[in-house]
């Protein structure tokens, strides 16, 4: 290459490099600008807070119990889907102690036998039913539940049991079941010898086989027994056993294992429950699930070496129960967890049901008091029960709000709407979102129908009619006026069977509430409130034979353990909805991954079977047609049921399903169960997921979790009460929650964020006077506070204020980084202590501009809220009348007041009253008059008290002054009697029948907590008080302003020194 060409090439290279660097810098700058683009953050929604509304009337599924052996009043309750609760007073009260952790499902508990403050928690419910929650391993607390640490095994999903070596608390065994919805993960028996720092799998069987139960010989903890369980559940089937299910024994602390065979069933085996008798460690019991819905109860009397079948007893649904508990004293007594718990007193040979008529069925956990074996704690699907007479009678713990709700709907009842929903194994309910009493209690809720409760929908045009549903389309129309219900389940008109999902979808048309749609494998329609039904579709499923699909990687014979049991017949519709914008435009989503649309009420249907990013045949959880745009529809899919796929599948179509786009964006792993769209802003969406509630204000570009006031919990359904702007949440394990007035989300924007200050639109405040609930029911009585009648002001402040102390500490930190240190001067510290804290002042005006109240809050940046209880001037002032009001905000920095928010209007409205609307304005004006007189009386009482004090001081000082004993004594006593006369009229006292004060109190408080007009008696008493006070006012003022100073002058002339009060105790006195 020539020198000229070399120079030219070098120049071009340099120019290219400079251009590239400039282009890169520009891209980086643009990217940085993009990163600074406005978006919703956690801090912006901190002003929004959920509240629990319960109920605890039927509670929820208990997974395990751990009782302190040294103090039976202290125990822990592990909830299958609802966290961990603790009582220290024998169940009088319970406290949730696991709500700060990432997961909510508890499988088992183990208390350290050497330290009751140490509790191990296995997360993930250890069953195999349809709605099975999962965990993220094993947790440990060393301080009685104040804090927890995840100790590992994070992919175990479900934990069967945990056992601790009593000789060494650092040796712990964990029976890991593994995920039910597919292979892999940490499954088998794990052991730690260092308190959970490291784990070793000491028993591994197969990719579909975990360990569901285990026992440890108390006389020799190196002897272990483990029950292996092979299983898999899919949306289309379930196999609850296989050849790998078995009982294993180790005699060397898990180093080696022997499969126990002698006397035990061969071939495919299902779930096995174990119990070693504490009374005789040679005796081991096993309940074993077998093919064709059979099983047996087995006993070994030689430490598992050989077994005898004692009976055919097995739980009715072993996937859900099959746990056994041995009596701590009697080696022949054993209790089996089942739909109705069974007890044998002869080592499993014969059995009796011990359920009782006043206890919920479906039992999962048991504790037997070792000091009194008639005393049980038993956990079931309906909560926690206690018996002191060996299960003859039961006491229910009605204060655990852990109900598993599948759905939530609301009505428009006024002033407080009702929430409707069905609960897992606990029927269907409705109850108020709040009441006019101080608390919501269990008695506020109405039970409508039994069974597993699912979707409950109120008729918007008839407040007495609602629809409720139990499993497999057990739909009934309920009449609240009678409490009766009638089945309206569709019946086939030809020789066929409808395939209903366990949780059958249906809805009332928003165009005509007498029109209902319901779906199995067909969509059916009724125009007479469910009286008759007509098919409006063909079979909308893929019509795949569930027995043609593999389980655990292979095909299974009909005799496989629990094959297809406790599973909805595959090929059914789970999601069903009608467009609120176009009558007869319906969507249907199936369990085999199809979405269908009809625009002519079933005249013809269009099928969509592939969705970008969503695996084929993924279960359709929810379909939501937009209420803003006829062509827009949203869909949620549940990949968990497709081999443990926890991807959050959430997609949107703007062309009626032809094309789809994911809007899952930044969502974490976990199923999305439901989506709802704000009725005013289509970009505001809410979703219920495996881990709680999330929202977006930009159509799904970014999601933020709404978690203030609600624990981590699976959310099955959401609904919006439009009148109140409330988001109502059906949690699967913590009851219902309400997010009151989320409307501020509609205003949050870049414009608001750039303002110096902003007040969000203020909801109307309801004026009423909360009444008391039935009191003195004891602490076991469930109650959750109702919202107070108040106006809530949500606001944003861009910049806070840095105090002198904050500035100094910031400067100190900066100086320390550079190796310098300076101590503040006394003057600086004094200035800090004297500095007035910066505040915000919220001033409320009535429509005429009169100041009603001033509230103060710290001046700090960000999104916050403050509430006004509608009282005049003070917290206990008269309630203001209904009307229009305005809010203004000032900031006060070092005594300088600056208005940052001009007057923002809102209204106070009253709730209906049986006696008609009172004259609130007249009431308020009357109360202001009474309050004014009361203020004068209070001032007068202060003067009376001061006069008594000053006279008493003069007497004491004269007693210690060098004057004659009779100096001023008569005058002071006479003066005191004059005070007594006035005090008797104003304050009352001995011999007084009435006083100014007592009459004022009657006038002020008689109707202060009721929505009625001021009574004639109040007006009468006020007039009497006013006249009596006027008669005494001149006398009192003369006593205070003239006679008392004259007496004090005489006192000084006599040698007394005013206020020369000797101390009651000198420093040198003992």
Q: What is the pLDDT of residue 33?
A: 43
- The residues near 141 (Cβ < 8 Å, ≥ 6 apart) are 117, 118, 119, 121, 147, 148, 149
CB 652 within 8 A of CB 605: no
Yes or no: say if 381 and 338 are a contact pair by the CB < 8 Å rule: no
- How far is residue 739's CA from residue 288's CA, in Å, rounded to a whole number? 47
- Six token digits for residue 807: 């500035």
Helix (H/G/I), strand (E/B), else coil: 289: strand
**10: which 2 tokens?**
């070098």
pLDDT band for 1056, please (50, 70, 90 cuts).
Answer: confident
**CA angle 819–821–822, rounded 5-degree value:** 155
Give the pLDDT of residue 1065: 56
Tokens of 380: 């079931």
Instruction: Label residue 266 by pLDDT band (50, 70, 90).
Output: very high
Average pLDDT value for residue range 651-664: 98
pLDDT band of residue 899 (cuts 50, 70, 90) is very high
Give the residue from 523, 442, 459 showing the smallest Cα distance to 774: 442
Residue 590 scores a pLDDT above 70: yes
Confidence of residue 420 (pLDDT cuts 50, 70, 90): very high
CB 220 within 8 A of CB 249: no
User: DSSP states of 43-63 as a string?
Assistant: GGGTT--EEEEE--SS---EE
Q: What is the pLDDT, as a whole number, of residue 18?
A: 37
> Which residues neighbour 31 within 8 Å (Cβ) at sequence distance 6 or greater?
none
- What one-character DSSP code corresponds to residue 911? P
Distance CA 382, CA 447 (A): 14
Q: Which of 447-456, 774-783, 796-805, 906-915 has the highest mean pLDDT?
A: 447-456
What residues have CB less than 8 Å from 167, skipping those under 6 apart? Answer: 221
Helix spans in 879-1015 (H): 920-959, 969-986, 996-1005
* Alpha-carbon dihedral sign for residues 381, 387, 391, 396: negative
With 80 as the cut, is the pLDDT of residue 1061 above it?
Answer: no
Tell me the pLDDT tens digit for each residue of 189-210: 999 999 999 999 999 999 999 9
3-state secondary structure of 413: coil
Cα separation, 881 vs 663, whole angstroms: 47
Residue 87 pLDDT > 50: yes
Give the pLDDT confidence of 661-682 residue by residue, as tens digits.
999 999 999 999 999 999 999 9
Output the pLDDT for position 1064. 57
**Could you tell me the pLDDT band of residue 642, with boundaries at 50, 70 and 90?**
confident
Does 21 score more than 60 pLDDT?
Answer: no
1000, two tokens: 């004022």
- Domain 610-721: give its CATH code: 2.130.10.10
pLDDT at 505 > cutoff 60: yes
Strand 765-767 versus strand 896-910 pairing type: parallel
Is 783-910 in the same CATH topology as 610-721? no
Residues listed for the chain: 1070
CA distance 941 to 174: 72
pLDDT at residue number 11: 38
Give one DSSP letter per residue of 790-834, joined into a string.
-EEEEEEES-----HHHHHHHHHHHHHHTT---PPPHHHHHHHHH
Decide if pLDDT at 930 tops 70. yes
Q: Of 678, 665, 667, which is closest to residue 718 (Cα–Cα)?
A: 678
Distance CA 828, CA 14 (A): 58
Averaged pLDDT, 210-233: 98
**List of residues 6+ apart from 186 with CB closer than 8 A:** 137, 153, 154, 155, 156, 176, 178, 201
Question: Tens digit of pLDDT for each residue in 744-793?
Answer: 999 999 999 999 999 999 999 999 999 999 989 999 999 999 999 999 99
What residues does each domain of the chain span? 75-396, 500-527+534-606, 610-721, 783-910, 920-1053
Q: Domain 783-910: which topology?
A: Immunoglobulin-like (2.60.40)
Burial of 254 (0-12, 13-18, 19+ CB in 10 A): buried
Predicted confidence (pLDDT) per residue in 560-580, tens digit: 999 999 999 999 999 999 999
Answer yes or no: are the C-beta atoms of 247 and 196 closer than 8 Å.
Answer: no
Sort strands 409-410 and 839-846 into parallel, antiparallel or unpaired: unpaired
Instruction: Say which residues have a Cβ less than 8 Å from residue 962's Cβ, sequence separation at least 6.
Output: 1055
State the DSSP H helix or E strand holding residue 224, giving kind and residue range, or none if neither: strand 224-230
Mean pLDDT of the chain: 93
Percent of the chain residues topping a pLDDT of 70: 96
Block residue for tokens 């509609």: 746
Q: How far apart are CA 320 and CA 952, in angstroms?
A: 80
Tokens of 242: 């296989």
**In CATH, which superfamily holds the domain spanning 75-396?**
YVTN repeat-like/Quinoprotein amine dehydrogenase (2.130.10.10)
Rounded to an integer, the average pLDDT of 1021-1043 is 94
Residue 518 phi/psi, 5-degree rounding, is -145, 155
Instruction: Give the pLDDT score at 544.
Output: 97
What string of H, E and C letters represents the secondary structure of 130-161?
Answer: CCCCCCCCEEEECCCCCCCEEEECCCCCCEEE
1044-1053 vs 969-986: helix crossing angle, rounded to 10 = 160
For residue 35, pLDDT over 80 is answered with no
Say what the pLDDT of residue 389 is: 96
- Return the percentage of the chain with pLDDT > 90, whole number: 86
pTM of the model: 0.93
CB 733 within 8 A of CB 134: no
C-beta separation of 321 from 361 below 8 A: no
Q: Enumerate the β-bridge partners of residue 111.
A: 119
Mean pLDDT of the region 288-302: 97
CB 847 within 8 A of CB 840: no
Averaged pLDDT for residues 485-513 = 97
Q: Tokens standing for 793?
A: 């002001």
pLDDT at 255: 98
- What integer pLDDT is reported at residue 1007 of this predicted model? 87
The number of CA neighbours under 13 Å toward the Cβ of 11 is 6
Tell me whether strands 534-535 and 149-152 are parallel, antiparallel or unpaired: unpaired
What does the pLDDT read at residue 28? 43
């Amino acid at each position: 290459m020539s020198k000229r060409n070399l120079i030219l090439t070098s120049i071009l290279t340099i120019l290219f490099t400079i251009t590239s660097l400039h282009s890169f810098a520009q891209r980086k700058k643009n990217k940085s600008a993009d990163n600074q683009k406005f978006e919703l953050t956690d801090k912006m929604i901190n002003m929004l807070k959920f509240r629990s509304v319960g109920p605890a009337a039927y509670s929820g599924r208990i997974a395990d119990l751990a009782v302190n052996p040294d103090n039976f009043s202290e125990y822990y309750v592990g909830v299958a889907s609802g966290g961990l609760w603790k009582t220290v007073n024998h169940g009088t009260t319970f406290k949730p102690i696991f709500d700060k952790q990432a997961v909510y499902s508890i499988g088992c508990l183990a208390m350290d036998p050497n330290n009751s403050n140490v509790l191990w928690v296995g997360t993930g419910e250890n069953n195999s039913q349809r709605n099975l929650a999962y965990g993220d391993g094993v947790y440990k607390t060393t301080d009685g539940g104040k804090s927890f640490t995840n100790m590992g095994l994070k992919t175990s999903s479900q934990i069967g049991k945990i056992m601790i070596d009593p000789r060494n608390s650092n040796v712990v065994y964990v029976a890991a079941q593994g995920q039910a919805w597919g292979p892999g993960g940490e499954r088998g028996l794990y052991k730690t010898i260092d308190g959970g720092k490291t784990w070793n799998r000491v028993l591994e069987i197969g990719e579909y086989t975990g360990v569901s139960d285990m026992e440890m010989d108390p006389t020799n903890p190196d002897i272990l027994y483990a029950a292996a369980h092979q299983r898999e559940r899919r949306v289309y089937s379930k196999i609850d056993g296989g050849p790998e299910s078995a009982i294993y024994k180790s005699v060397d602390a898990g180093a080696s294992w022997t499969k126990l065979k002698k006397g035990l069933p061969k071939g495919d085996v299902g779930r096995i429950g174990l119990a070693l008798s504490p009374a005789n460690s040679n005796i081991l019991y096993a309940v074993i699930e077998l093919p064709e819905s059979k099983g047996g109860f087995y006993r070994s009397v030689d430490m598992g070496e050989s077994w005898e079948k004692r009976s055919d007893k097995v739980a009715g649904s072993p996937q859900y129960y099959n746990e056994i508990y041995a009596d701590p004293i009697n080696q022949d007594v054993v209790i089996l967890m089942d739909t109705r718990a069974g007890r044998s007193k002869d080592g499993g040979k014969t059995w009796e049901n011990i359920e009782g008529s006043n206890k919920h069925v479906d039992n999962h956990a048991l504790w037997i008091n070792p000091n009194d074996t008639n005393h049980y704690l038993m956990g079931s699907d309906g909560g926690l029960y206690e018996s002191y007479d060996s299960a003859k009678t039961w006491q229910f713990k009605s204060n655990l709000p852990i109900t598993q709700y599948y759905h939530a709907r609301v009505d428009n009842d006024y002033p407080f709407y009702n929430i409707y929903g069905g609960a897992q194994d606990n029927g269907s309910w409705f109850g108020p979102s709040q009441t006019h009493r101080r608390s919501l209690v269990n008695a506020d809720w109405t039970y409508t129908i039994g069974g597993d409760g699912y979707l409950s929908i109120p008729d918007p045009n008839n407040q007495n009619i609602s629809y409720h549903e139990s499993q497999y389309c057990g739909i009934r129309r309920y009449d609240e006026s009678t409490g009766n219900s009638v089945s309206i389940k569709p019946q086939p008109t030809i020789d066929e069977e409808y395939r209903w999902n366990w949780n059958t979808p249906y809805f009332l048309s928003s165009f005509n509430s007498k029109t209902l749609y319901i779906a199995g494998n067909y969509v059916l329609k009724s125009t007479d409130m469910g009286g008759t039904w007509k098919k409006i579709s063909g079979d909308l499923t893929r019509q795949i034979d569930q027995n043609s699909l593999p389980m655990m990687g292979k095909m299974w014979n009909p005799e496989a353990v629990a094959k297809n049991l406790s599973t909805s017949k595959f090929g059914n519709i789970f999601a069903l909805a009608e467009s609120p914008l176009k009558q007869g435009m319906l969507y249907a989503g199936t369990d085999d991954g199809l979405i269908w649309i009809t625009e002519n009420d079933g005249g013809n249907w269009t099928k969509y079977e592939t969705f970008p990013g969503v695996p084929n045949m993924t279960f359709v959880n929810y379909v939501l047609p937009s209420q803003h745009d006829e062509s827009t529809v949203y869909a949620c899919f549940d990949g968990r049921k497709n081999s443990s796929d926890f991807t959050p599948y959430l997609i949107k179509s703007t062309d009626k399903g032809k094309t789809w786009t994911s809007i899952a964006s930044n969502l974490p792993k976990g199923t999305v169960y439901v989506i709802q769209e704000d009725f005013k802003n289509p970009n505001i969406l809410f979703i219920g997921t495996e881990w709680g509630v999330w929202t977006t204000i930009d159509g799904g570009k970014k999601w933020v979790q709404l978690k203030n006031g609600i624990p981590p919990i699976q959310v099955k359904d959401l609904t919006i009460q439009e009148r109140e702007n409330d988001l109502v949440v059906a949690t699967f394990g913590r009851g219902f929650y309400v997010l009151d007035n989320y409307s501020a989300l509609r205003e949050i924007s870049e414009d608001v964020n750039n303002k110096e200050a902003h007040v969000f639109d203020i909801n109307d405040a309801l004026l009423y006077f909360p009444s008391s609930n039935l009191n003195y029911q004891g602490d076991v009585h469930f109650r959750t506070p109702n919202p107070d009648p108040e106006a809530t002001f949500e606001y944003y402040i861009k910049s806070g204020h840095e105090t002198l102390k904050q500035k100094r500490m910031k400067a100190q930190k900066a100086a320390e980084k550079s190796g310098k240190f300076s101590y503040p001067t006394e003057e600086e510290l004094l200035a800090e202590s004297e500095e007035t804290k910066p505040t915000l002042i919220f001033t409320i005006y009535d429509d005429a501009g009169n100041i009603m109240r001033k509230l103060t809050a710290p001046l700090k940046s960000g999104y916050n809220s403050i509430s006004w209880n509608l009282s005049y001037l003070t917290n206990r002032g008269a309630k203001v009348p209904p009307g229009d009001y305005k809010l203004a905000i000032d900031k006060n920095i070092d005594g300088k007041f600056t208005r940052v928010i001009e007057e923002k209007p809102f209204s106070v409205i009253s709730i209906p009253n049986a006696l008609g609307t009172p004259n609130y304005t007249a009431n308020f004006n009357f109360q202001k008059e009474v309050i004014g007189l009361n203020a004068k009386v209070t001032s007068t009482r202060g003067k009376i008290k001061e006069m008594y004090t000053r006279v008493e001081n003069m007497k004491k000082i004269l007693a210690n002054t060098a004057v004659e004993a009779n100096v001023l004594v008569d005058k002071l006593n006479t003066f005191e009697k004059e005070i007594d006369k006035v005090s008797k009229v104003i304050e009352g006292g001995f011999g007084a029948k009435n006083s100014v004060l007592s009459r004022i109190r009657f006038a002020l408080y008689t109707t202060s907590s009721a929505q009625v007009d001021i009574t004639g008696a109040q007006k009468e008493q006020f007039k009497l008080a006013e006249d009596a006070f006027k008669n005494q006012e001149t006398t009192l003022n003369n006593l205070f302003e003239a006679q008392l100073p004259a007496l004090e002058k005489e006192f000084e002339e006599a040698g007394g020194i005013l206020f020369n009060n000797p101390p009651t105790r000198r420093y040198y006195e003992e």
